[in-house]
Structure 1
């Protein structure tokens, strides 16, 4: 492993690809390879950290093609110290237990992971924008390293001859904050280092269309249960069956299909996708990445929820069964925090506007407002407890809390 002497030495370009970083003086550095991919692309523009043409711009629990970017213009070469200093300035470095010395010792890993993510998201490695640099080196890679540390601790609890069940990491984060793209990136990095992983979402456990109709009929007049989303709209028995099976994927050759949900079915009301379309995974799994906007929510006293919205009483009652169906399966937690739940509306609105401007069907501003309004009561009721006490049944020693800003970038490791 290459080690960086950050005080007196420049690391020479020996990495088997290239990467670029801009420092405050707008200088660049890169590492060249003798064998570059034949696939080229250019980085996108606009306010988003990631170009709209990226395969992760519309995640569907699958990996898209990966590309490398060939430099179209030369860049000034500077010390890898620029990268080192940028990494160490990130808000999560100290939180995940890294020191400057540890970052220096593992700088080759940071370079490798950054290069892989650039390929995944089709980013121009020579001219990463500031938002792209922040997203990769202040967010995705530190979270990945934390997950790796959790895996090592998990595996150390078992003897050599024992089958090791996969570590289940839960990602609790509001809608639109980028958790699905984060999970997509982590899943890809796990595959790159040879770890078998599986991704699952609480969305995959929604009731079938028939089940949704029954729920709506049984709760007429309750806008929070008119559509899928809140507690009560999930098939908990199905989720228990699925998560139990996933935790048993510890042997070579074991296989199972991961359920998926089709949100476009029945005019957007949704239905469980045909099992023939579900992706198949093969064991032994090392890690399961389980994400959802309400993971870790726990029921509160009735007065506490009805004071937010009387319609939450039924939702709150349904939430009592969710610990046994979801949370008890989770070994480690990542909680992505926001200061203002109204960001959810802004993020959703941005996405729908972008879809409409691209000529695709998208909700109107009023439709977005109506859609988000069905989730805001739950956010206002349950997020304060989640943020102050941690997820339902979580161990503080295996919890990473990250506060993000309105641009979905980490600002604190809390």
Structure 2
């Protein structure tokens, strides 16, 4: 089976939409939710399909017996120190925690009185602390403007490997911003892929480079569209100002993909408070040529292409969240889990060998660039405005720094 077919076929032979290298039919970031807790398979306001929610955890509930129990659970979370929160501060703001938790339970169709431990951890140890950090960053950003000045939206970058749940995290954060009365926009590096025609030219110009054969690595994005979009978003500071956000249709051209018709792009309206910008290679820094060639000789041209990405992406980002993993091979395991789940649901999925081939096109970049991302931060980032969240193989938070 050709690459385009095996990455994109669904049960009816049509295109299976992909997001950041993952099939939309399976939302790995939602694996902590019970099997009987479903998120409607619909198109959300941001123009992305919201996928069914599956669980690999037992469904026996662990009842939240009291606010005191929940308070103690919140205070045991691994991210509170990074937020600068003490037990006293959590106690004073417990109503806010309860409010945000209730909103997320409604979003994911969970019963807030009967949450499993993994569900409580995902909400109160991960999503809500990250949201509170985002609120802190927005307040800091707003304080740099004088009275009467237009406050531009804060662009928060999310750099995280494929399959780790970043899309679901951003979905939850976007919902919390909207439900609390603040306008937000979400974009992905996927939205800036080259058109099908330009991707074909890239492939033809690099006939012996498997890393540029298909979309994904540096060089396969329309950087001028990135600059145009991010610049326009920064100007949405007043009521009535509107723009459309580009989207990419990964099911087009038998799965090879193409830019979606502009008539289908979602519209956002000002004044925007925040832009949530996510991607698997966001913030990667170009490295010395010999360093990348030692990982994979094919990375040399990818590394050269990466030099233009700071001006197109990273310089617009003023606050960063990095989701850190210990071993890039987790990406393979997460992708394999998705394909196994698809086959179990009666949908066609890639074989183990096909999954390995697919992930192998990304692993060289992970091996080359993640060490520097983790040790020095994203390209051009301010250490004081960087939140690193480490997760384990189960996508559970370990710590933040």
Bin of the TM-score, shorter chain as denominator length? 0.7 to 0.9
2:290 corresponds, among 303, 315, 323, to 303
Name which one, 1 or 2, has greater alpha-carbon Rg. Answer: 1
CA deviation string 1:114-171 (max 9, x = no partner): 1110110111222111111110000000000000010011001112211000000000
Specify whether residues 271 and 411 from structure 1 end up closer, same or farther in structure 2 by C-alpha distance, changes over 3 A only.
same
Aligned mates of 2:185, 2:360 — CA distance in 1: 32
Report which structure shows greater RCO (CA 8 Å, sep ≥6): 2
SS for the counterpart of 2:186 is strand
CA deviation string 1:11-40 (max 9, x = no partner): xxxxxxxxxxxxxxxxxxxxxxxxxxxxxx
1:49 corresponds, among 32, 44, 64, to 32
Aligned mates of 2:172, 2:143 — CA distance in 1: 25
The alignment's C-alpha RMSD in Å is 2.0
Specify whether residues 77 and 320 from structure 1 end up closer, same or farther in structure 2 by C-alpha distance, changes over 3 A only.
closer
Equivalent residue number for residue 114 of structure 1: 101
5+ long unaligned stretches in structure 2: 1-29, 52-60
TM-score of the aligned structures, taking structure 2 as reference length: 0.87
The answer to whether the 8 Å contact 1:59/1:184 transfers is no
CA deviation string 1:265-315 (max 9, x = no partner): 112111111111111110000000000000000100000000000000000
Aligned mates of 1:240, 1:174 — CA distance in 2: 23
Equivalent residue number for residue 342 of structure 2: 355
Alpha-carbon shift at residue 77 of structure 1 (Å): 7.6
List 4+ stretches of structure 1 deviating above 6 A. Answer: 56-60, 74-77
Alpha-carbon shift at residue 75 of structure 1 (Å): 9.7
Equivalent residue number for residue 127 of structure 1: 114
Alignment of 1:79-118 (within 5 A): 79-118=66-105
Specify whether residues 226 and 89 from structure 1 end up closer, same or farther in structure 2 by C-alpha distance, changes over 3 A only.
same
SS for the counterpart of 1:194 is coil
More helix by share: 2
1:345 corresponds, among 332, 354, 364, to 332
Specify whether residues 187 and 354 from structure 1 end up closer, same or farther in structure 2 by C-alpha distance, changes over 3 A only.
same
Alpha-carbon shift at residue 112 of structure 1 (Å): 0.7
Aligned mates of 1:59, 1:231 — CA distance in 2: 29
The answer to whether the 8 Å contact 1:196/1:286 transfers is yes
Aligned mates of 1:309, 1:63 — CA distance in 2: 35
1:145 corresponds, among 132, 137, 152, to 132
Aligned mates of 2:62, 2:222 — CA distance in 1: 54
The answer to whether the 8 Å contact 2:183/2:270 transfers is yes
The answer to whether the 8 Å contact 1:59/1:180 transfers is no
Aligned mates of 1:183, 1:411 — CA distance in 2: 19
Aligned mates of 1:56, 1:231 — CA distance in 2: 34
The answer to whether the 8 Å contact 2:64/2:114 transfers is no
The reply to whether residue 182 of structure 1 matches residue 169 of structure 2 is yes
Stretch of structure 1 that moved more, 265-274 or 360-369 = 360-369
The reply to whether residue 394 of structure 1 matches residue 381 of structure 2 is yes
SS for the counterpart of 1:307 is helix
5+ long unaligned stretches in structure 1: 1-46, 66-73
Alpha-carbon shift at residue 352 of structure 1 (Å): 1.3
The answer to whether the 8 Å contact 2:41/2:50 transfers is no
CA deviation string 1:325-382 (max 9, x = no partner): 0000001000000000000000011111111211223222211111100000000000
The reply to whether residue 258 of structure 1 matches residue 242 of structure 2 is no
SS for the counterpart of 2:295 is coil
TM-score of the aligned structures, taking structure 1 as reference length: 0.84
Aligned mates of 1:50, 1:272 — CA distance in 2: 32
SS for the counterpart of 1:190 is helix
The answer to whether the 8 Å contact 1:63/1:188 transfers is no
The reply to whether residue 274 of structure 1 matches residue 246 of structure 2 is no
Stretch of structure 1 that moved more, 54-63 or 233-242 = 54-63
Equivalent residue number for residue 42 of structure 1: none
SS for the counterpart of 2:104 is helix
Equivalent residue number for residue 30 of structure 1: none
Specify whether residues 380 and 294 from structure 1 end up closer, same or farther in structure 2 by C-alpha distance, changes over 3 A only.
same
Specify whether residues 297 and 58 from structure 1 end up closer, same or farther in structure 2 by C-alpha distance, changes over 3 A only.
farther
1:200 corresponds, among 176, 187, 195, to 187
The answer to whether the 8 Å contact 2:63/2:115 transfers is no
The answer to whether the 8 Å contact 2:42/2:50 transfers is no
Specify whether residues 242 and 77 from structure 1 end up closer, same or farther in structure 2 by C-alpha distance, changes over 3 A only.
closer
